[in-house]
Structure 1
Amino acid sequence: MAYQNVQQARFITERKQAEAALRDSERRLAEIIDFLPDATFAIDLTGKIIAWNRAIEEMTGVKAENMIGKGNYEYALPFYGMRRPILIDLVFMPDDEIEKKYAFVKREGDILLAEADVPLKGKIHLLWGKARPLYNGEGNIVGAIEAIRDISERQRAEEERAKLEAQIREVQKLESLGVLAGGIAHDFNNLLMAILGNADLALFSLSPASPARPNVEDILRASQRAADLCRQMLAYSGKGRFVVGRYDLSEIVQEMAQMLEVSVSKKATLRYSFHSDLPPVEADATQLRQVIMNLITNASEALGDRSGAISVSTGVMDCDRAYLSESYLDDNLPEGRYVYLEVADTGGGMDKETRRRIFDPFFTTKFTGRGLGLAAVLGIVRGHQGGIKVYSEPGQGTTFKVLLPAREWAPEDRAPSAAQSDQPLTGGTILLIDDDPDVRQVGSQMLKRLGFKVLTAAHGQEGLEIFRANMGEINCVLLDFTMPEMGGDEVFREIRRLRRDVCVILSSGYNEQDVTQRFVGKGLAGFIQKPYTRANLRETLNRVLGSK
């Protein structure tokens, strides 16, 4: 009996020592865990919480004294608002139903890794978790530990970085295509100069009764359409601004109303909402009209054969960087006041992939090609330091919102323009310098028809030699901008050095603003864009020579 009492006493003592050792071990574990940077807690084999560190207190707002010693999945309450198994419980027993609640669960030996969207403190947070067993000195599992990290900010940063990288790739693609489109348009305009110019000269020579006249007129119309396509290509390249002025966007849309009505489907209803007293935008009016027409045409195509409405509205708004950064291809536009044009349709809308490609050249959701319509819109808007926002969902219609920087009216902006001089040309000698033989040939014929003596040169050096030899009689130089070896800018400088009072008109397949910005304040007399007709040339020469 005495022996049994001794044995029982020893068992009780050993159990108390083991429990004391376990409590001491749990205390030391809790102290270590308390200093970990990640939100961390631990449980024993019964599911009772034995550690709840400061980081998890901060994350959940629940203090350790309210959690230590509690079981029955108490640790899940701050995260999910309910008692249920979570990642730490998978340490003891795999469960497919629990794993389905996570974005993924990955096993690395006895370690579990997982991510999940968690409704923490009223907001959805993306949490990363890592759980593993706790072992005693003999290698037996005595509990489990889980570390939790809020990676929401990291995910947002990664998404922002991915968005920025996608924007950079898109800008680089547009810039590459823009350079290609601009180069093609320039070269094609030189070819059109020969076609359009010769057709124009032929038409001038034909009598009204000539059977060939309709054919020549068809050539002229086709050439003009090709020239329009070149202008769209230049617009897509962002080099398509011609004559810049300050305009009321509402007035431009109102002036186009009748043309827009006949351009849309008969089943489409056009609705207008114009903001009164808009601040002006600094733009090329022709290109603004192209933007409006292309957006309306796109909206009409979106309706297809169905009845629907197309709403056109204008307004002005203050835009901050956050708003502007959501525009298509954020070009880091400065925050401030922007005038907007909004075109909305009640068509079928677009999915995310279609929205991503909608501004690609020749992209279409229909069998027939869309051409450069929306691509040109993007190029024009970017060329005007503006932005585009697109709102669309399948079945919800589409809205395009064009943003252009608001300006201030100047007194001369709305003053009536002086009538252009229509006095007849007075003759004289013109030196035509162009490396394209077709341009020289047709340009020379046009100038002769206008009553001028013409000297021609095939390149810059030859042009300078002819100019030096005939300096006294040359009234004007018609100078090509893009030439091999000696470019138009170099020839211009040398001509002006030789004789400062001579009129120099620059000619190019590129647009005026893109070319003439190199000659600001240097005495350039005028500019004419290829391809041009005899009437265009006469108007330019009248303006330049009539002012002398």
Structure 2
Amino acid sequence: MLETFHPHIQVTTNISDDLSLVEGDPTQLHQVLVNLCVNARDAMSEGGILNIAAPDSVVEGMHPDRAPGASEEHYCLVEITDTGHGIEPDILPQIFDPFFTQKPTGTGIGLSSAQSIVTTHGGFIDVQTEPGQGSTFRVFLPAHGKAGDEVIDATGAVDYRGNGEKILVVDDGQIVRKALSQMLGECGYDVLLAADGQEAIDLFHEQRDAIAMVLTDIKMPVMDGPELLRQLKSIDPCVRVVATSGVNSPDSKDAAMSAGAAAFIPKPYTTIELLRTLWTGDTPSHHES
């Protein structure tokens, strides 16, 4: 992702050699860091410095208004700092509101989604910014021992691992496709990727007999999820499709289910929620913590 940044943006890192472990969903936490880095990039349209730091941190004396989720004593800290235009004081209280954005294009759900993910992991985000001087987003996540300690899979994901089944993942977000490919691959699935509905149809025609199931986003250009579902069903009425969307509304779910989806899972989801849905075909009734 960082290799796509403007050449006038210098990326630096400062990562501790003795980081604490964090218990969480790697796909979701990757999404948080990507969102923050992209926002930092967009704040430096004329170039600047993006620094990614990960020192260990003990939270002491944090103001409750700035860190309402601070209940643990020891947190792992990740800092994303830019030298961009900063955030105006009158706008700062709104930046985590759903659909709030200052960008000419975009949904504005990036920071809202990041905060939601971090909160469900028991952490919080603190922002330090000054107009004209840049911003630092500090992500605090509860620490669970040190690297090298015994790690136990608390997610239960082992119960829902694949066994080499080929799954066609359809999403117009390159970062999402990459993250899902890595996560599902590590969990025993053979992953086939498509960037839009038409590409998915072409791949399904070519490898219909090998594809065990399809995971598709609902909101996509070229061909949206419901239309993709209808065309897949016309090719193979028995195809198993799980639909997903970042717009968690009854309309999105209803459109997917009426087009023939076996299940619908709203974003953001945890690894165990996705694996269980792929395995059982059951729509999660709520996000699991």
With the length of structure 2 as denominator, give the TM-score of the two structures: 0.55
Alignment partners' CA distance in 1, 2:72 and 2:272: 29
**Native 8 Å contact 1:319 1:337 kept in 2:** yes
**What is residue 276 of structure 2 aligned with on the other side?**
527
Q: Where does structure 1 differ by over 6 angstroms across 4 or more consecutive aligned residues?
A: none
Deviation at 1:371, TM superposition (A): 2.5
State the 1:289 CA deviation. 0.9
Aligned equivalent of 1:260: 2
Cα drift, residue 513 of structure 1? 5.6
| 1:9-47 residue CA offsets vs partner (Å, 9 max, x unmatched) | xxxxxxxxxxxxxxxxxxxxxxxxxxxxxxxxxxxxxxx
In 2, distance between residues paired with 1:378 and 1:385? 11
Distance 1:358 1:308 in 2: 22
Match runs of 1:23-422 below 5 Å: 259-262=1-4, 264-304=5-45, 306-320=46-60, 322-323=61-62, 325-327=64-66, 330-331=68-69, 333-369=70-106, 371-408=108-145, 410-412=149-151, 421-422=163-164
Query: What SS does the corresponding residue of 2:54 show, helix, strand or coil?
Result: strand
Q: Give 3-state SS (helix, strand or coil) of 1:367's partner.
A: coil
Aligned length: 187
Are the aligned partners of 1:318 and 1:335 in contact in 2 as well (CA < 8 Å)? no
Matched residue of 1:389: which SS? strand
In 2 relative to 1, CA 338–445 (structure 1 residues): closer, same or farther, beyond 3 Å?
A: same
**1:285–1:513 CA distance, 2 compared to 1 (3 A):** closer
> Which protein, 1 or 2, shows the higher relative CO under an 8 Å CA cutoff with sep ≥ 6?
2
Aligned-partner Cα distance in 2 for 1:287–1:308: 27
Q: TM-score, normalised by structure 1?
A: 0.31
Name the CA distance, whole Å, in 2 between partners of 1:423 and 1:403.
37
Q: Secondary structure at the match of 1:363?
A: coil
Q: Using the alignment, how far apart are the partners of 1:275 and 1:423 within structure 2?
A: 38
**Structure 1 segment 10-21 matched on structure 2, within 5 A:** none
Residue 368 (structure 1) shift: 2.8
AA in 2 matched with 1:421: N
Larger radius of gyration: 1
Aligned match of 1:509: 265
Paired with 2:271 and 2:162, the residues of 1 have a C-alpha distance of 25
Task: Give the Cα separation in 2 of the matches to 1:286 and 1:413.
Answer: 18
Tell me if structure 2 keeps the 8 A contact 1:507–1:527.
Answer: no
Aligned residues with identical type, % of pairs: 30
Give yes or no for contact 2:96–2:112 (8 Å, CA) kept in 1: yes
**Cα distance in 2 between the residues matched to 1:423 and 1:285:** 22
Name structure 1 gaps, 5 residues minimum: 1-258, 425-437, 448-481, 484-505, 517-525, 530-539, 542-548
Give the superposition deviation at 1:283: 1.0
| 5+ residue gaps, structure 2 | 167-228, 241-252, 255-261, 281-289
SS of the residue corresponding to residue 395 of structure 1 reads coil
Using the TM superposition, give the Cα deviation of residue 510 of structure 1 relative to its aligned residue in structure 2, in angstroms.
Answer: 4.4
Distance 1:528 1:370 in 2: 27
Q: Aligned Cα RMSD in Å?
A: 3.5
Q: Which position in structure 2 is the counterpart of 1:252?
A: none
| Higher helix proportion | 1
The C-alpha deviation readout for 1:424-476, integer Å capped at 9, x for no partner, is: 9xxxxxxxxxxxxx89x9496126xxxxxxxxxxxxxxxxxxxxxxxxxxxxx
How far does the alpha carbon of each residue in 1:113-169 deviate from its partner, in whole angstroms, 9 at most, with x for none?
A: xxxxxxxxxxxxxxxxxxxxxxxxxxxxxxxxxxxxxxxxxxxxxxxxxxxxxxxxx
The residue type paired with residue 527 of structure 1 is: R
3-state secondary structure, aligned to 2:43: helix
Contact 1:324 1:335 in 2 (8 A): no
